[in-house]
Structures are given as C-alpha cells and as structure tokens.
Amino acid sequence: MVHLMHPQKRFFLQPFFKMASFLIKKIDRVFGLDCSCGHTFYGPAITPNSIVMDLGACRGDFCKYMTDQYGCLTYAIEASPELFSNIIETSSIRKYNYAIAGNDGFTTFYQSSLETAGNIMGPKANSTGHTFEIETRKLSTLMRELGLKEIDLLKIDIEGAELLLFETAEHKDIAIAGQIAIEFHDSVQLPNISTEQARRMIKKIQAAGFWGIALGTKNSNWLFVNQARLAIPSLTKTYLSIRRLIKIAI
C-alpha cells in the first residue's frame, strides 16, 4: 500500500527540500558534477574544444549554458517547430529542426498543451490535436550529416523517442559520446515508454562501454560515462554511489 504525504506536510517540508537541493548542488560541484535543465554531467571533461549535442534542445537553454560556462561548440536538435523558432543561433550554437528517431525520413509530431511535452510517439491526454510533419534522423545519420565522428557530451530529452533511438542504434553509434546525460520518459506524469523499456535501454548503453548512475527521481536524470574515453576519479565515483541514494530532483 502506498501512503501519500499529506499536502500540509509537503508544504512545511518544502524549505527543507530546497535547502537540501541547494547543498547537494554545492557538494556536486566539489566532485566535478554540473547540472543544467535537470541533466547532470562531469564538468572537468568539458573544455572550449569540446563538442556538445543536445537532442531535445527545447528553447536552447542547455546549449546556452554550455557555451556560456564552458565556451564549447553545441548542436541544438529540436523537433517542435515552435520551440525550434525560439532557439537563438550563434557561432557556438548551431540548430537543426529534426526529430531523432529510428529511421531517416518524416514523421508526425503531436503538439501538447504543455509546450515542452510534444512528441513523435503518439497522441496523449495532453495533446492539443494539432500535428506537424517533421524530418527525422537516426543518430548515426545526423553524425555523418554534421561531419562529426565523436562528441564529448550527448544530452537526450526527447519525450520517449529515446526508445526509437536506442532500438536501432548499434553499440558503435552509442560509443561516439564521452558522456550521456538522459531523461527516460517512463519518469513523467504521462509516460511515453514503460519502465521495462527504460531498463532495456540502460542495459544497452552499459553494454556499449558506459558506466551509468541514476541521480534524479525515478529515471529522470541518468549520467553515463564512456569508460574507454573518460576516467572519472575514484573519489568522484564513490561520491556518486552515495549521491544516487539521495532522490531529490535538482
């Protein structure tokens, strides 16, 4: 039986959770962890020479943070025509209006009443009824199209289409990234995938040579590190093993 916390208790505990989240962020920084838009990554591995790819770039906030804080080159990939139009392109932020999927071609994009929850997986309870035909790319095709062989950080937040990405991706396609920061969408209020499908994707990423750890509530904030490309200090790994037990969304 699940016992839900009384709303009044939640209200009184809010200051505690805010303070705990603030302290965790401070401690994370000591061990090299950084977080933007709910996605955690290992900051010392990112330099001005790094390449960051943001799948599900929304309004470009993650890319802007990476360019402002690290001075690196970023690629903003966003399916929603409305959100894409809000991304400000610069010399360090290059934007592309694609949906990442399991094939190259076109698919239907389902607009949501929640602006950031539109998806290509199918209509949901919060869909507005408006649809768009948009171009799709497999990750491997996108890499070739952009002339990239490796990227340092791959951030993925594509409203369930991560299932299509990883179903068709080979291990070598996944291993192009030094780090992967991803939200699996079994963790949202209206899930686009099942928890079992998320587990299968996690196993596939690990089989491609990544060490992974969940840092947020449910499967909302996973960090995967490519062990062949990036050596995380043992002290940071130990901290992460403890940190994963603290399920506070930051």
- pLDDT single digits (tens) 83-140: 999 999 999 999 999 999 999 999 999 999 998 899 999 998 889 999 999 999 999 9
Question: Do 147 and 170 touch, CB atoms closer than 8 A?
Answer: no
In a domain, 6, yes or no: no
pLDDT in tens, 154-194: 999 999 999 999 999 999 999 999 999 999 999 888 888 99
**CA–CA dist 2, 17 (Å, integer):** 21
Kindly report the backbone phi and psi dihedral angles of residue 147, in degrees, each rounded to the nearest multiple of 5, phi listed first. Answer: 75, 30
* Paired strand residues for 95: 76
pLDDT at 210 over 50: yes
pLDDT at 236 over 80: yes
**105: alpha, beta or left? (left if phi > 0; alpha if psi -120 to 50):** left
Tell me which of 17-21, 51-55, 108-112, 207-211 is least confident. Answer: 17-21
Q: Determine the 3-state secondary structure of 51 from DSSP.
A: strand
pLDDT at 20 over 80: no
Question: Do 76 and 85 touch, CB atoms closer than 8 A?
Answer: no
pLDDT at 5 over 70: no
pLDDT at 148: 98
Q: Return all residues near 150 (Cβ < 8 A) that are at least 6 apart.
A: 51, 176, 177, 178, 229
pLDDT in tens, 33-85: 999 999 999 999 999 999 999 999 999 999 999 999 999 999 999 999 999 99
* Paired strand residues for 211: 225
pLDDT at 199: 95
In a domain, 134, yes or no: no
In a domain, 128, yes or no: no
**Whole-model pTM over 0.85:** yes
Could you tell me the CATH number of the domain that includes residue 213?
3.40.50.150
In a domain, 152, yes or no: yes
Tell me which of 53-57, 182-186, 214-218, 233-237 is least confident. Answer: 214-218
Could you give the number of structural domains in the chain? 1
In a domain, 191, yes or no: yes
pLDDT at 231 over 80: yes
In a domain, 123, yes or no: no
Kindly report the backbone phi and psi dihedral angles of residue 169, in degrees, each rounded to the nearest multiple of 5, phi listed first. Answer: -75, 140
**Domain range spanning residue 228?**
27-100+139-243
Q: Which two tokens stand for residue 24?
A: 């965790």
In a domain, 10, yes or no: no
Helix (H) or strand (E) holding 29: helix 7-30
Tell me which of 19-23, 63-67, 84-88, 142-146 is least confident. Answer: 19-23
* Paired strand residues for 93: 74
In a domain, 249, yes or no: no
> Which of 168, 201, 206, 167 minimizes the C-alpha distance to 183?
201
